[in-house]
Structure formats: structure tokens, C-alpha cells
Structure 1
Amino acid sequence: MAQSRRNLSGVWVVMWLLASSIAVGLIGCGRNADPWAGMQGKRVAVSFAPLYCFTKAVAGDDCAVLPVLTTDGPHDYDYRPKDVIPLRNADLFLINGLELDTFAEGAKRGARNDRLEVVRLAEVAIPPEQLISVDVQKKKVEGEHVHGSKDPHVWLGPPEAILMVRKIVEELRRLDPEHVEGYQKRGDAYVKRLQELQAYGRKQLEGKKHRGFITFHDSLRYFARAFDLEVVGVIEPHPNVEPDPVKIARLAKEAKERQVRAVATEPQYNSGPAKKLLEQMRR
């Protein structure tokens, strides 16, 4: 048991670092009548937290950045009219695309900001051949959550995140030519951090025999590809819909057969199903 825990350390370090890299910077984004009040420069809205992190890292203090979603993720978001407020006076709206943040178009219409341009980063920054295909029919038959024919969770793979950051640099340079040097410098620095993160993770995982893991929901395939890991199974086929005992038992059986050493959870969701799975895996 002690040896297997040591074998897991590299996986957990990589997962923790990547999770940290997409969660920084959300403090201080409270709502008020004018969320842009006191902010200087061009105004860039983004759909959700990871894109905020990328964009803010590139923007620095040269332009203002606000997320539309501050406490919800795109999977379990319920549209609220007040959430269009940042878009009313925004100059640019950066979203993921690939049928993930589908609320964005409705939010734009609700904002009644005719000059607002929407950029779907995942669709314009990442070559189609680099996107992971999804067997839509199979997922529907198995009752799983489906976004579209391509996996939209691109920001969780460092190579894809790098392309998104470079596109953000391009968009900010175009929007605000006065600060092109700053955007480029900060973007290059952030890309370097992502490259170092991937190199560190791959180094930590060198020589690991058991490279399979189970995810909470089907979101870590780009992450797995970047670190030469394998997603063996998914706990929740739909976000916020807990699996039945039969699925948990089936996952536990497969995990033991495949000698799975890690289960990836998500802090915003109930960890109960993952704990039940781990209990059965240890029997």
C-alpha cells in the first residue's frame, strides 16, 4: 500500500498544479451595478474561470478582464439576467466554444451590445485534427452527457492551453494596439510556465507502470494525452447526476482489474460517489 501511494504522488502533483493554474485570480470579482467601475483600459469579458485565468495573465493591468460565471461552471449554469451586465459595456467576449459555454450567445443578445465581438477560442486556436473526437451516438446510448462531436475541455491539456493563450495574445494585441508589447511579453511568459508544467509532470511520471485513472466526469482526456495517461472510466455520466450502485460496482471491478491507482475528483461536486468507489476498490 505504501509503495502504491508513492506511485500516485506524481499523478496527484500534476493534477494539483494544473488545477491551481486554472483557478487563480477570481478573488475580488463581486457583482455591483457597474462591474467595470474603476477599471482602466479596454474591457474584456470571458465566459468562465479557466479563461479568466489565461486572459488576466496576458492582460496584466493594461486592460480590464471580468468573468461572466464567477461561482458556477458551464456544465451546471442556470441563466440569470443579471449575468449579462459585464457584457453591456465590454469590448470583447472570449468563450471556449465547442458547445460548452452555449449560454454565451443568449447572454450577448441579452446585453444588447451590438459592437461586442465573440471569439470562440477553442474553435479558432486549435487545429481540428488536434481536437479529441467524441462518439456521440455511443454516449447517448450509454446515457452520458454530450456536448458535441469534439471534446470541449481543451484548456486542461497544456498543449491546447498554450494555443489558447497565444490566441488571447493575438486578440488583445488587435483590440488594444497601444499595449502590444506588454501583451506579448506576458503571453510568452505564461506559455513558458505551461511548457514547464508539462515537462515537470512528464518527468514526475517517468517509469510509472500503471498510468490509468478514473475521472469524476469526462473532462480530462486532453490532460491524459498530454501526460501519456489513460482515462479508464468516468464516475458521473452527467454533471450533478450521481451514478447508481451498479455503475459504481462495475467501475470498481474494472479499476481493480486494470490496477488503477488514482481517482480524480472535482471540488465543486459532491465527493460521495468517488468515496464509495474507492471503498469498493480497496476491498
Structure 2
Amino acid sequence: MRKPVSFFFIVALLLSNAVLLSACGGQSSVAPEKKEDGKSFTIVTSFYPLYISAINVAKDVPGVKVVNMTEQTTGCLHDYQLVPEDLKTLSEAQVFIVNGAGMEAFMDKVVSQLPNLKIVEASKGIPLITGEGEEGDNPHVWVSISNDIQQVKNIGLQLAALDPDHAAQYSANTTAYAAKLEDLQARMHQSLDGVKNKDIITFHEAFPYFAQEFKLNIAAVIEREPGSEPSAAELAETIETVRQAKIKALFAEPQYPAKAAETIANETGAKLYILDPVVTGPMEPDAYIKIMEANLKTLEEALN
């Protein structure tokens, strides 16, 4: 026959369970589990080509997130004005990677409103090409493979200094991506150094550094500022340049309408090609390389 359970035993058991539950609850509130993103390190880039460089340099670095500030439709940041959403994005970042060389005309506003934000200037130390008249320095340094390699190295060095816990990984990623770019550079030089036709007409002032690297001569520029149609006199002058120099290749850009370039091609018989300055494209690590490989094929056809 089963013995009756003592009243005092039941009370003791209940009190014991209450103490255990209280202890568990107290431990949970005092020392909650840390989230995986508890030590996140957010990097914001000003526009597309810097984003591609940054995702390669920061590849697989724990806790690091790379965000591009501007929409792809922005293209180059000519006269770009910050919007409230941009400042919100930057306020949540630890680092802002910019091209520099005058590309980001809004930097005074960023510095004044977010004085603690660390700025990484990718074009640091790169010799700049001075524009005509009051144009200032040409900021399109990344279009040259050599300069893009230097920008990647600048980004790697500065991120390693700002996030020293992961300096070794930034360094390894920088070396690996720079090696890919150097291979691209060698292939492009092998193909383009011997071309006979060196004179080209470009759409806007995006290609002087590229032309400098591959010893091409930009005989004329269709639109000094993208989106600003050339005047009738400027159009006539370019048409005359094409005829006199017997230029066979005109280059428009995929980001902008090619109406003026088409007019010149129709008037001169020159063929119109597309050359991409890498300001829009897939948000993928190999995008810069793939776009430049497509440019290489275009140039091989146009200049040989």
C-alpha cells in the first residue's frame, strides 16, 4: 500500500522549484546571449566602382558589412546632392570610402554633420590630370587599371588601420584582388599596346586616365559634362576633327543617351561603339574585371 505524501514534503518541493526557476530567470536577464552582429563594422561607399573595390577588400571579414550609398542610376557623382536618406545611411557607418580628387563635392556637408565618421580616400597619392579652364582635376582615376589597383591598395591599407583586429584579412584580400587586376592589366597591355589606330573620340571626360595608360589619343570629347548636349558649333567642330583625322571609332557610354554620337557617326561614317567607364553594373566582386574585359573586346575590334 502506497504511503501518503507528506504536506511538508510537497511545500518543500514547490519552494525548491520556485528557487530554481527564479535563478534561471535572473541569469537570462543579467547575461543575455550576444547577437552575431553585436560587433558589426559598417563601411559605406560613395558610388559603384568603390563598392566593387570594397567588397573585394572586405571579403569574408567577420562582422563587416559594405553598403553603397547612391543608386546605380546616379552614375558618376557630378553635382550630386546628398539627400536625407544618405545622411541616415552614413550615420550608421563607421567608415565612408570616397573616390576623392573632387568627385564628391558634398564632402564638406558630410564632415560638418558627421565629424566622427572615418573617411577613406581611395585616390590618395594618385597623380591627377588637370582639366581645361576651370574644370579642375579629373576625378575618373579608377578607369585606369593601374589607378584602380592603387585605389584598392589604398582602401586595404586604410581599412586595416581602422579595423586592426582584421588587418591581416584585409591585407590578404587586397593582395588577392590586386593580383587579379594586375593579370587583367597585363592582358590589356598585350592586346592594346600594338594597335595602329590611336585616335579616339570619347563621350565625356571619363577616359583620360585610361587613354594615358594605353597611350591612346583622345582627339575630341562629345559631351564635356554628361547630359549636356553639345552646341551646334561644338558638334560641327567634332565632325570636322573626325573627318580631318580620319578617325574610325566613336565611343558612347551605356549610362547615357548617344544621340550626339549617333549624329557624328552619321555625318562622318565613323563607327559607333560602347565603352563602359564602370560607374554602373552588377553588384558582384568580379564586375570591374568583366566590364573591362568587355571594353577590351570592343577596343580590339574598333582599333585594329
With normalisation by structure 1, the TM-score equals: 0.75
Which residue number in structure 1 is paired with residue 94 of structure 2? 91
Shift of 1:170: 0.6
For 1:55 and 1:40, the matched residues in 2 are separated by: 19
Structure 1 equivalent of residue 54 of structure 2: 55
Which of the residues 108, 111, 128 maps onto 1:131?
Answer: 128
Determine whether 1:196 maps to 2:195. no
Contact 2:56 2:173 (C-alpha < 8 Å) held by counterparts: yes
1:205 paired residue number:
192
CA distance in structure 2 between the partners assigned to 1:280 and 1:43 by the alignment: 51
Runs of 4+ in 1 over 3 A off after TM superposition: 38-41
2:45, 2:51 within 8 Å by CA — same for their partners in 1?
A: yes
Larger Rg: 2
Amino acid across the alignment from 1:276: T
CA distance in 2, matches of 1:115, 1:206: 46
Q: How does 1:1-283 map to 2 (within 5 A)?
A: 41-62=40-61, 63-71=64-72, 72=74, 73-75=76-78, 77-109=80-112, 112-122=113-123, 124-126=124-126, 130-136=127-133, 140=134, 146=135, 148=136, 150-282=137-269
Deviations 1:63-93 (A, max 9, x none): 2111211231301524322121211021111
Structure 2 residue ranges without an equivalent (≥5): 1-36, 271-304
Q: Secondary structure at the match of 2:142?
A: helix
CA distance in 1, matches of 2:182, 2:146: 8
Q: How big is each residue's C-alpha offset from its partner over 1:236-276, in whole Å with a ceiling of 9 and x where there is no partner?
A: 12221111233222212212222323222222211111111
- Displacement, 1:39? 9.9
Would you say the 8 A contact 1:87–1:108 is kept in 2?
no
Q: Deviations over 1:79-113 (max 9, x none)?
A: 3221212110211111112221111332444xx43
Per the alignment, in what secondary structure is the counterpart of residue 236 of structure 2? helix
Unaligned runs of 5+ in 1: 1-37, 141-145
Change in 2 beyond 3 A, CA 1:186/1:262? farther
Do the aligned partners of 1:134 and 1:151 also contact (CA within 8 Å) in 2?
yes
Q: Kindly, what percent of the aligned residue pairs are identical?
A: 30
CA distance in structure 1 between the partners assigned to 2:177 and 2:237 by the alignment: 41
The corresponding residue for 1:31 is: none
RMSD between aligned residues: 2.0
Give 1:227 deviation, angstroms.
Answer: 1.1
Give the partner amino acid of 2:244. Answer: E
Deviations 1:169-193 (A, max 9, x none): 1111112222222211221122112
CA distance in 1, matches of 2:249, 2:38: 43
* Aligned residues of 2:160 and 2:166 also touching (Cα < 8 A): yes
* Equivalenced residues, count: 230
Asked whether the equivalents of residues 165 and 191 of structure 1 are also in contact (C-alpha less than 8 Å), the reply is yes
Provide the rounded CA distance (Å) in 2 between the counterparts of 1:87 and 1:187. Answer: 24
